[in-house]
Amino acid sequence: MDLNNPELEFSDLVYAYQSWVMAVINDEKLDSEDQLLSEEITDDALNAMRFLPGEVTSAIETSLARVYEVDEDELASLLFPESEE
């Protein structure tokens, strides 16, 4: 994601973060043979987090946790394992 792109929109940031959360859920919690998480997805999500309000990232995490029937606390530990230490 090019953060210097003048056509970059808020929805692009939301999409980048949402893609990362979905990839983590897919790779860690679902019995999917296809691994979705890539360095590019992670980098885009981390860049998007710098510009997204906490309420937006929290809403994305909560919504996707409910859709995929993942415990919200468990999802948080999958997304941010360093905060567990």
pLDDT computed for residue 62 by the predictor? 95
Residue 2 located in a structural domain? no
pTM above 0.75, yes or no: yes
pLDDT computed for residue 3 by the predictor? 76
Residue 12 located in a structural domain? no
Residue 1 located in a structural domain? no
Domain tally for the chain?
1
What's at 23, amino acid-wise?
A: A
Residue 6 located in a structural domain? no
Residue 4 located in a structural domain? no
32-45 burial: b if 16+ Cβ within 10 Å, else e: eeeeebeeebeebb
Residue ranges making up the domain that contains 47: 17-79
Query: What's the angle, vertex CA 27, arms to CA 68 and CA 58, rounded to 5?
Result: 50
Residue 39 located in a structural domain? yes
Residue 3 located in a structural domain? no
The DSSP letter of residue 34 is S
Residue 10 located in a structural domain? no
What integer best gives the mean pLDDT of the chain? 91
Find the mean pLDDT for residues 22-47: 92
The CA distance from 17 to 12, in Å, is 9
